Amino acid sequence: MTTQTEGPVLRTAEMHLLTPASPGEATVVSTERCTASRKSASFVRHVALDVSGTPLAGRFVPGQSFGVIPPGVDDAGKPHKLRLYSIASPSRGEDGAGNVLATTVKRSIDEHREHHRLFLGVCSNYLCDLQVGEKVKVTGPSGKRFVLPANPAAHDYIFVATGTGIAPFRAMCMELEVVAPASRVMLVMGAAYATDLLYHHDFEKAASRPGFTYLTALSREKQADGSPARYAHERLLDHREETRELLASSRTLVYVCGIAGMELGVLQAIATVLGPTGSEAYIRGTQDVMREPGSWDRRMIPRQVQPTRRVFLEVYD
Ligand SMILES: Cc1cc2nc3c(=O)[nH]c(=O)nc-3n(C[C@H](O)[C@H](O)[C@H](O)COP(=O)(O)OP(=O)(O)OC[C@H]3O[C@@H](n4cnc5c(N)ncnc54)[C@H](O)[C@@H]3O)c2cc1C
């Protein structure tokens, strides 16, 4: 059992080549729903943007985000602020030349706080409404901590996603297939219902490769095998032996992306599978804390429950 807590040297990621003061102009080249079924109650689109001619072209890496500046002004009459979207493409882009990057956008739909009329999130609905050929203002790239290691083939990976948190893992899986084909990957995708799974058919295909395990976690219905509703981290426990074997290797890195709060369950699952001593490679905490992962809550991260540099978290509301 390893206690190596040192993180790997990460791949160099360029930042802020395009800023809000001086954004670039991208063109929509494709837009399609990427839920497993059109019956899904959520609307999530795979939107591909041509960034050729801007400094973004060829200079983004999986795990980074880019900014979108929606047109128009907010309630205070100020221009809308940019929103961040994870890059869902490998560094070679959707086109193989780094000129087209894609993201995975979920329409944000709510009732208005004051008068219960329909509230449509500004930027997600703008992006999802865009038609092929339309232009969009982009910034970035941003983020340099949630990226693959500089030597990706020296590692194996556990990726845990909920919802659009799958975007960076689509990018990373496509990247690894080329730059680290022998690395093991365990990908866990969490969604409410089977109809909501994103890029499901692509990942099913990827799972036919040796060393690639694809697990789905449905939180509001039974799993395909008849077992009860499950959150993403619970699938790590269902597949405890494979999870333990992967986690016990000093090659393994854990990446978590999606709804804020999901990191707690993943860290608890690691501590449960490896036990207090074994999990030192991924989590630091006092002996008392490490003995009782079931009693942890979110506020204990990162002070009392401290992920090591082998754990990468990117969560958002
Ligand atoms: C690093 C990072 C990566 C991200 N990657 C992705 C990604 O890949 N895909 C993705 O879809 N998202 C991603 N996001 C989230 C994204 O940036 C946006 O926050 C999201 O799309 C919602 O933006 P919006 O402009 O549509 O909603 P906004 O207009 O900003 O509203 C946000 C939320 O606030 C609430 N709200 C605001 N005003 C009201 C009101 N008057 N009444 C009721 N409710 C209200 C609503 O619940 C609404 O959903 C990422 C965020 C970060 C930080």
121 lines ligand 1 (CB under 6 A): yes
Residue 94 lies in a domain: yes
Same domain, 174 and 55: no
Same domain, 208 and 307: yes
Residue 241 lies in a domain: yes
Same domain, 138 and 156: no
Angle at 182 between CA 153 and CA 86, to 5 degrees: 60
Same domain, 176 and 286: yes
CB 32 within 8 Å of CB 54:
no
Residue 11 lies in a domain: no
Same domain, 101 and 137: yes
Residue ID of nearest Cα to ligand 1 atom 28: 121
Residue 2 lies in a domain: no
Q: Which of 105, 111, 115, 124 to mutate to test the pocket of ligand 1 (most atoms within 8 A of CB)?
A: 124
CATH code of 190's domain = 3.40.50.80
What pLDDT shows up at residue 3? 59
Residue ID of nearest Cα to ligand 1 atom 32: 121
- CB-based contacts of 291, cutoff 8 Å, min separation 6: 276
Residue 244 lies in a domain: yes
Same domain, 120 and 227: no
- Give the sign of the dihedral formed by CA 166, CA 171, CA 172, CA 174: positive
Residue ID of nearest Cα to ligand 1 atom 20: 124
CATH code of 46's domain = 2.40.30.10
Instruction: Fill in the amino acid letter for 170.
Output: R
Count structural domains, the chain. 2
Residue 13 lies in a domain: no
Residue ID of nearest Cα to ligand 1 atom 36: 121
89 lines ligand 1 (CB under 6 A): no
Same domain, 55 and 186: no
Same domain, 251 and 131: no
What pLDDT shows up at residue 2? 41
Q: Cα of 243 to ligand 1 centre, how many Å?
A: 33
Q: Which of 83, 146, 198, 262 to mutate to test the pocket of ligand 1 (most atoms within 8 A of CB)?
A: 83
Residue 7 lies in a domain: no
Residue 169 lies in a domain: yes
Q: Looking at 142, 168, 194, which one is the last position of a domain?
A: 142
What pLDDT shows up at residue 315? 95
The residue segments making up the domain with residue 242 are 152-316
Terminal C-alpha separation, the chain: 35
pLDDT in 10s for each residue of the chain, 317 residues: 445 668 899 999 999 999 999 999 999 999 999 999 999 999 999 999 999 999 999 999 999 999 999 999 999 999 999 999 999 999 999 999 999 999 999 999 999 999 999 999 999 999 999 999 999 999 999 999 999 999 999 999 999 999 999 999 999 999 999 999 999 999 999 999 999 999 999 999 999 999 999 999 999 999 988 999 999 999 999 999 999 999 999 999 999 999 999 999 999 999 999 999 999 999 999 999 999 999 999 999 999 999 999 999 999 88
